[in-house]
Amino acid sequence: MATARFRALIFDIGRVLIRVDISRAMDGLASGLSFTPEEVWSAIQNDPHWLDWQEGRISPRDWHLQLNKRLGASLTFEQFSEVWNRALDPNPIHAESFLENLSKNYQLALLSNTDPIHMSHEEARFPFFRFFPIRIYSYRVGASKPDPVIYRQALRACKVRAEEAIYIDDIAAYAEAATRLGMTGIVFESPEQLQSNLRGLGIQID
């Protein structure tokens, strides 16, 4: 293991490790309905159970039924799950060799606001998950970013102090929330930018 200042690298998933295009899922959900894809996404985000879904207080099947009712849709659970996962691009953002090299010297962890339908698909589809033995998901913790609870859960799971961890997210507010707890936050823009930032912090990436 490396003896540098940092011991853990904690990654968000969507738009950091996996490309996400919400419009692909919304196009599927809007098909045959009187709503535009944009209206469907707005209805989902404003649904009173959206946070319950993200934080694990309702089941996948209940969420499916809730959205069918809200949108006036008639998708089966299997159809809904397939459409919901269309948002996830099958081609990962980073070369596996990059993550594998990091995993040799640092504890790698995932910290994501997500749901069980997406995670079941992602963990089965993307081999790079094997480099992340620690996986902190909002629906398992019962809290979501930027709540300090979920960041502290990740630190405990990694068995590191905040100053020993780097957190990487595409959303600046979530990286800043990690920084307020004493972690080093990086706002992800591209693989090249991330590698440059990590090198600047003394991280071994080769």
How many domains in the chain?
2
Residues 75 and 108 in one domain: no
DSSP conformation class of 14: B
Residues 82 and 152 in one domain: no
CA distance 80 to 146: 28
Residues 80 and 42 in one domain: yes
Look at residue 4 in the predicted model and tell me its pLDDT: 56
- Residue 70 domain-assigned (yes or no): yes
Angle at 22 between CA 51 and CA 10, to 5 degrees: 65
- Residue 32 domain-assigned (yes or no): yes
User: How many Cβ atoms sit within 10 Å of the Cβ of residue 187?
Assistant: 17
Residues 183 and 110 in one domain: yes
Residues 83 and 35 in one domain: yes
Reported as a single tens digit per residue, the pLDDT across 25-70 is 999 999 999 999 999 999 999 999 999 999 999 999 999 999 999 9
Q: Domain range holding 164? A: 8-17+93-200
- Residue 206 domain-assigned (yes or no): no
User: How many Cβ atoms sit within 10 Å of the Cβ of residue 175?
Assistant: 22
Reported as a single tens digit per residue, the pLDDT across 13-35 is 999 999 999 999 999 999 999 99
**Which pLDDT band holds residue 105 (cuts at 50, 70, 90)?**
very high
Which position has the token pair 């599927």?
A: 28
Q: DSSP per residue over 148-160, as a string?
A: HHHHHHHHHHHT-
Q: DSSP per residue over 89-131, as a string?
A: EEEESS-HHHHHHHHHHSEEEEEE---HHHHHHHHHH-GGGGG
Residues 192 and 104 in one domain: yes
Residues 53 and 136 in one domain: no
Burial of 156 (0-12, 13-18, 19+ CB in 10 A): exposed
Residues 82 and 49 in one domain: yes
CATH number for the domain including 143?
Answer: 3.40.50.1000
- Of 4-13, 49-58, 133-142, give the lowest mean pLDDT range: 4-13
User: How many Cβ atoms sit within 10 Å of the Cβ of residue 130?
Assistant: 12
Residues 119 and 71 in one domain: no
Residues 174 and 79 in one domain: no
- Residue 167 domain-assigned (yes or no): yes
- The identity of residue 95, as a single letter, is A
Residue 3 has pLDDT above 60, yes or no: no
Reported as a single tens digit per residue, the pLDDT across 158-206 is 999 999 999 999 999 999 999 999 999 999 999 999 999 999 999 999 9
